[in-house]
Chains A and B, each alone.
Chain A
Amino acid sequence: SAVISQKPSRDICQRGTSLTIQCQVDSQVTMMFWYRQQPGQSLTLIATANQGSEATYESGFVIDKFPISRPNLTFSTLTVSNMSPEDSSIYLCSVLKPTGELFFGEGSRLTVL
C-alpha cells in the first residue's frame, strides 16, 4: 500500500478566494492524479499530475481554475482558484502503484460560502 497525506483535511472558504491542497506520498510514484467527489456523487478525474511538466487535464477542467504542481515524485499540489459554492467538494489525491492499484488520500473537504 501507499501512505498518502493530504492537507488540509477540510476547510471553509469565502467565494472568490483560492485554496491550495497538498499531497505527500511516502514513496516515489510515477502516476499521480487529482479527483473531485461532489456531494453524493462519484469520482471525477480532474487531471494527471506530471512530474516536471504541465498537468494533463480532463475535459471540463482547465489549468487557470485548477493549477497543479508536481515538483518531484512524492509531492503535488492542487489549487482551486477563484472559488464559488459550486466548487464545494471533496478533492482526492491518488497514486498508481506498479501493481496497477490506485491508492487514495483521505481527501480534502472544501466548503465554499
Chain B
Amino acid sequence: GDSVTQMEGPVTLSEEAFLTINCTYTATGYPSLFWYVQYPGEGLQLLLKATKADDKGSNKGFEATYRKETTSFHLEKGSVQVSDSAVYFCALSDLSGTYKYIFGTGTRLKVLA
C-alpha cells in the first residue's frame, strides 16, 4: 500500500542554519503531497502542498518540490528561526479516490538561539 517515510529526528540546528527534512513516498497512483507542522501544544497545520510532479510548494520560507523520479518531497528552509521549532509531518493523499491521508512518523526540529 501507499506509505510515507521521513527522516528520523530530532533535528537540532542553530538559528539561521539551513534545514532539510527528507521525505520519500510510495504510491500506486499520483498522489498530492503535503507538509504539516505541529507546534508545541497545538494541532496540525498545513504548511505547504504540491499536487503534481515538479510542483513546488512554499510557505513561510519553507519549500518542497514534488519529485516523481525520486518519489521525494523534501522540506527545506534557508534560514531557520527558533520559532520554527516544531514537529513536521510529510503526508500524501489520493484526492481522486478515497481522500485518505497517509502521514509519515514526523520529524522533530529544535532550533537553538
Contact = CB atoms under 8 A, between A and B. Distances in A.
B50 to A, nearest CB: 11
Interface in A19-71: 31, 33, 41-43, 45, 48
B104 A104 contact: no
Contacts of B45: 104
Interface residues of A, number: 17
B93 A102 contact: yes
A42 B103 contact: yes
Sorting the interface of chain B by its residue count into under 10, 10 to 19, 20 to 34 or 35 or more gives 20 to 34
Contacts of A31: 99
A33 B99 CA distance: 10
What DSSP secondary structure best describes chain B's contact surface?
Answer: strand
Interface of A: 31, 33, 41-43, 45, 48, 92, 96, 100-107
Interface of B: 32, 34, 42-46, 49, 51, 89, 91, 93, 95, 99-101, 103-106
Nearest to B46: A101
A102 B95 contact: no
B99 A104 contact: no
What DSSP secondary structure best describes chain A's contact surface?
Answer: strand
Contacts of B91: 102
29 contacts: A33-B101, A41-B105, A41-B106, A42-B89, A42-B103, A42-B104, A42-B105, A42-B106, A43-B103, A45-B101, A48-B100, A92-B43, A92-B44, A96-B99, A100-B32, A100-B49, A100-B51, A100-B95, A100-B99, A101-B34, A102-B34, A102-B91, A102-B93, A102-B101, A103-B46, A104-B43, A105-B43, A106-B43, A107-B43
B46 A43 contact: no
Interface core residue of B44, B93, B99 (most chain A CB under 10 Å): B44
